[in-house]
C-alpha cells in the first residue's frame, strides 16, 4: 500500500473558548483529488489555515509523506476563496507572485509562467489589470498563480463559490480536464455537494463545529465525468445520498 | 489610426469642458454680480475693488507678485516634502510596532490641536524670518492628514491577500512591501489632495507672521497700505497656485498608479 502524501491524525484546534476542530483524521494520496465537504462555518477553511501555518493545532499530528510536517515546511500552494488578485499588478505579475516571494528573479519567473497562459485561457491578457477580467478569468489567473509555485499539494478554498452558476459549471469542467492532464494532488474545500461529487476521487464529510470527519466517501465514477450523461445520473444519486446524510438529525444535532 | 486617436482625444477634451461648464458659469455669474455691484453702488475702491480692478492691478504688479510667489511656492514644496518623508517613515514605524503606535499617535493628534494663529508667531520667534519656520509650519499642518491616510491605507489591505502571501512564506516586511504599501496608494493620493490645499494656506500664514518676502507678507503690506485690490490679487495668485498643485497630484497618480480607478471619485 502506498503511503498517503498528506495525513491528518486526530488534529484538534481551538480559538480561545471555541472548539473548531475536534479529532480530525483524514488522508490524501499522491495525485488524488480530494474534497472536504461540510456546512458553512464548520471549520473547513481552518484546516487550510493549519496547513499554511496561519493557525496552530493544539493536538494531533500532520504528516507529509509519512514524516511529521515541520513548521517551516511549505509543501502547499494555497488558493483563497476570493481570487485575491492584486489590483495594482498586471495579470502576468499577479501569476508570478509566489515565485517572486520564493526569490525567483522576475525575468525567470515570467519565463516560467508565460507559456501557461494559453492553457489557462488567458493569452492576450498578460498586460491587463485584474479589473479588466471576467470572474471566470480572474479565477483561472488565481489558479495559475497557485500551480506555478510548483508545490506538491494544491489547496483550493471554495474557488468557484463567488461565480455565477453557468461560469461555475464551465470552470468545473475546465478544472477536471486540467487535472486529468496534470494529475496534481488537490484538496478542494466546498459546500457544493455536486461540485464535490463531480470532481473528487474521495470526499471527506465534516460535521458542524467542532468539526470532525463524519464519513469518507469514495466516488467510483469514470472520468471525464461531465461529458457522459450516464455518469452524471450516477453522480446525482451519490449527491442525494450525501445530502441525506448531511441533513440527517444526528448530524444536525 | 492616428486620426481616430486624435478624434478620441478631442472628444475627451470636449467631455471635460462640458463637465466643467456649470462650475465656470457659476463662477462667472458671481464675478459678474460683484462687478455690477461695485459699479452701481458707488462703493469706494479702497473698501471693495471690482474684479476687473483686481485683475488690472494684478497685471500691473505682476513682477512684484511673481517675486513674492516664488518664496511661498518654495516653502510649500519643501515643507510638504518634509512632511511626506516624516509621515512615510513614521507610518511604517507605527505599522510594524503596536507599542510605537500607542506611544506616538496621541502626540500626533495633539499636534493637530495647536492653533496656527498662536503657534506661527512663536515658530517665527524661535527660528527667525528665514525659510525654516515656514517649512516647519507647512510640515506641522500637513503631516497628520498624510500619516492618517497612510495608516488607514495599510489597514485597508485585504485579509485574503495577506493570508495568501503568508501561505507563500512571505516575511512581515515582504507582506508590507508587496501588499500593504500598494494597498495604501489610493488613500495616499486622497490624503495628498487634502494636504496640498492646506500646505499653501499654511505657508502664507507663516509668512503673515513674519517674512522678508512671500505672498503672506505681500498681503499684509497691501492691507496696511489700504490696497484691498492688491490683497485680492495675491489671493488670486495663491488660489491659482493651490489649484495647480492640486491638479499635479492627479497627474502624478496617473503616472505612478494607473491602476487606481479614479472615475468613481469624480462623479461619473
C-alpha of B221 from chain center: 25
Handedness of CA B133, B138, B139, B141 (dihedral sign): positive
Compare all CA atoms of chain A with the CA of B171 and give the residue at the minimum distance. Answer: A101
pLDDT of residue A251: 61
- Count of CB contacts below 8 A, A vs B? 56
Domain presence at residue B244 = yes
My answer on whether omega of the bond before A210 falls inside 30° of 0, hence cis, is: yes
Q: Do B259 and A87 touch (CB under 8 A)?
A: yes
pLDDT in tens, A34-46: 999 988 777 888 8
What pLDDT was estimated at residue A98?
A: 93
Confirm or reject contact between A105 and chain B (CB < 8 A). no
Q: Which residue has the cell 471576467?
A: A134
* Residue A203 to residue A215: CA distance in whole angstroms: 8
A161-218 per-position pLDDT tens digit: 888 888 899 999 999 999 999 999 999 999 899 999 999 999 999 888 788 888 888 9
pLDDT of residue B268: 30
**Which pLDDT band, with edges at 50, 70 and 90, does A81 fall under?**
confident
Residue B268: inside a domain: no
pLDDT at A223: 86
**Local confidence band at A92 (pLDDT 50, 70, 90 cut-offs):** very high
Please tell me the distance in Å from B259's CA to the nearest CA on chain A. 6
CB A168 within 8 A of CB A196: no
At B3 the pLDDT is 57
Local confidence band at A250 (pLDDT 50, 70, 90 cut-offs): low
Question: Is B265 a domain residue?
Answer: no
What total of structural domains would you count in chain B?
A: 1
Within a domain: B16:
no
How far is B161 from chain A, CA to nearest CA, in Å? 5
Whether residue A29 is predicted with pLDDT greater than 80 in this model: the reply is: yes
Q: What is the mean pLDDT of chain A?
A: 89
Contact status of A86 with chain B (Cβ, < 8 Å): yes
- Inside any domain, residue B39: no
Domain membership of residue B153 as a residue range: 64-260
pLDDT more than 70, % of chain A:
98
CA distance B169 to chain A (A): 7
Predicted confidence at residue A22, as pLDDT, reads: 87
Q: What is the pLDDT of residue B1?
A: 44
Q: Is B47 contained in some domain?
A: no
The residue of B159, B164, B264 whose CB has the most chain A CBs within 10 angstroms, and thus the best one to mutate to test that interface, is B164
Q: What is the pTM of this model?
A: 0.84
Q: What is the pLDDT of residues A19-28, one digit of tens each?
A: 888 888 999 9
Walk along chain B (268 residues) and give the pLDDT tens digit of each residue. Answer: 455 656 766 777 778 778 888 999 999 999 999 999 999 998 898 889 999 999 999 999 999 999 999 999 999 999 999 999 999 999 999 999 999 999 998 998 888 888 888 888 899 899 988 899 999 999 999 999 999 999 999 999 999 999 999 999 899 999 999 999 999 999 999 999 999 999 999 999 999 888 889 999 999 999 999 999 999 999 999 999 999 999 999 999 999 998 887 654 433 3
Q: ipTM of the predicted structure?
A: 0.87
What chain A holds in terms of domains, given with CATH numbers, is 42-191 (3.40.50.300), 194-253 (no CATH)
Q: Which of residues 223-262 of B touch A (CB under 8 A)?
A: 257, 259, 261
Residue A245 near chain B (CB below 8 Å):
no
How far apart are the C-alpha atoms of A197 and A35, rounded to whole Å? 9
Beta bridge partners of A218: A202
Q: What are the tens digits of pLDDT across the range B38-79?
A: 999 988 988 899 999 999 999 999 999 999 999 999 999 999
Residue B251: per-residue pLDDT: 92
Q: B158 near A86, Cβ under 8 Å?
A: no
Q: Which range among A70-74, A134-138, B9-13 shows the weakest confidence by mean pLDDT?
A: B9-13
User: Within a domain: residue B44?
Assistant: no
Bond before B247 cis per omega within 30 degrees: no
**A174 interface with B at CB cutoff 8 Å:** no
A86 contact residues in B (CB cutoff 8 A): 161, 178-179, 182
What is the three-state SS of chain A? CCCCCEEEEEEEEEECCEEEEEEEEEEECCCCEEEEECCCCCCHHHHHHHHHCCCCCCEEEEEECCEECCCCCCCEEEECCCCCCCCCCCHHHHHCHHHHHHCCCHHHHHHHHHHHCCCCCCCCCCCCCHHHCCHHHHHHHHHHHHHCCCCCEEEEECCCCCCCHHHHHHHHHHHHHHHHHHCCEEEEEECCHHHHHHHCCEEEEECCCCECEEEEEECCCCCCCCCCHHHHHHHHHHHHHHHHHHHCHHHHC
Give the closest-approach CA distance of A76 to chain B in angstroms.
8
CATH of residue B174's domain is 1.10.3720.10
Amino acid at each position: 500500500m502506498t503511503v498517503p502524501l498528506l495525513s491528518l491524525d486526530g488534529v484538534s484546534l481551538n480559538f480561545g473558548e471555541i472548539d473548531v476542530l475536534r479529532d480530525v483524521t483524514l488522508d490524501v494520496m499522491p495525485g488524488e483529488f480530494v474534497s472536504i465537504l461540510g456546512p458553512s462555518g464548520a471549520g473547513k477553511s481552518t484546516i487550510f489555515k493549519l496547513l499554511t501555518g496561519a493557525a496552530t493545532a493544539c493536538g494531533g499530528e500532520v504528516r507529509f509523506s509519512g514524516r511529521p510536517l515541520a513548521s517551516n515546511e511549505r509543501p502547499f500552494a494555497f488558493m483563497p476563496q476570493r481570487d485575491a488578485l492584486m489590483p495594482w499588478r498586471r495579470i502576468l505579475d499577479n501569476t508570478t507572485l509566489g515565485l517572486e516571494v520564493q526569490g525567483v528573479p522576475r525575468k525567470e519567473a515570467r519565463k516560467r509562467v508565460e507559456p501557461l497562459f494559453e492553457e489557462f485561457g488567458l493569452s492576450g491578457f498578460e498586460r491587463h489589470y485584474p479589473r479588466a477580467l471576467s470572474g471566470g478569468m480572474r479565477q483561472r489567473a488565481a489558479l495559475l498563480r497557485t500551480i506555478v509555485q510548483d508545490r506538491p499539494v494544491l489547496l483550493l478554498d471554495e474557488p468557484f463559490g463567488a461565480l455565477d452558476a453557468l461560469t461555475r459549471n464551465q470552470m468545473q469542467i475546465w478544472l477536471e480536464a486540467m487535472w486529468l492532464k496534470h494529475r496534481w494532488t488537490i484538496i478542494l474545500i466546498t459546500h457544493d455537494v455536486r461540485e464535490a461529487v463531480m470532481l473528487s476521487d474521495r470526499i471527506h464529510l465534516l460535521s458542524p463545529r467542532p468539526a470532525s470527519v463524519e464519513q469518507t466517501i469514495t466516488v467510483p465514477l469514470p472520468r471525464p465525468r461531465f461529458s457522459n450523461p450516464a455518469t452524471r445520473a450516477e453522480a446525482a444519486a451519490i449527491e442525494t445520498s450525501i445530502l441525506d446524510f448531511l441533513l440527517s438529525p444526528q448530524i444536525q444535532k | 489610426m492616428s486620426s481616430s486617436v486624435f478624434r478620441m482625444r478631442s472628444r475627451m477634451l470636449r467631455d471635460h469642458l462640458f463637465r466643467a461648464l456649470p462650475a465656470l458659469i457659476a463662477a462667472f455669474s458671481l464675478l459678474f454680480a460683484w462687478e455690477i455691484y461695485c459699479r452701481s453702488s458707488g462703493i469706494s475702491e479702497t473698501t471693495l475693488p471690482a474684479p476687473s480692478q483686481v485683475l488690472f492691478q494684478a497685471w500691473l504688479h505682476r513682477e512684484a507678485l511673481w517675486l513674492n510667489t516664488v518664496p511661498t511656492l518654495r516653502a510649500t514644496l519643501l515643507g510638504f516634502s518634509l512632511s511626506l518623508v516624516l509621515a512615510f517613515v513614521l507610518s511604517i514605524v507605527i505599522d510594524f510596532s503596536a507599542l510605537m503606535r500607542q506611544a506616538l499617535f496621541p502626540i500626533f493628534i495633539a499636534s493637530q490641536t495647536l492653533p496656527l494663529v498662536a503657534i506661527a508667531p512663536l515658530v517665527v520667534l524661535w527660528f527667525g524670518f528665514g525659510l525654516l519656520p515656514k517649512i516647519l509650519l507647512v510640515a506641522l499642518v500637513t503631516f497628520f492628514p498624510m500619516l492618517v491616510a497612510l495608516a488607514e491605507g495599510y489597514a485597508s489591505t485585504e485579509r485574503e491577500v495577506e493570508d495568501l502571501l503568508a501561505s507563500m512564506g512571505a516575511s512581515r516586511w515582504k507582506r508590507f512591501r508587496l501588499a500593504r504599501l500598494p494597498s495604501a496608494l489610493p488613500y495616499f493620493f486622497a490624503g495628498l489632495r487634502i494636504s496640498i490645499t492646506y500646505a499653501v494656506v499654511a505657508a502664507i500664514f507663516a509668512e503673515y507672521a513674519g517674512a522678508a518676502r512671500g505672498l503672506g507678507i505681500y498681503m499684509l503690506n497691501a492691507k496696511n497700505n489700504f490696497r484691498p485690490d492688491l490683497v485680492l490679487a495675491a489671493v488670486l495668485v495663491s488660489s491659482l497656485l493651490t489649484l495647480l498643485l492640486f491638479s499635479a497630484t492627479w497627474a502624478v497618480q496617473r503616472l505612478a498608479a494607473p491602476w487606481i480607478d479614479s472615475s468613481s471619485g469624480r462623479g461619473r
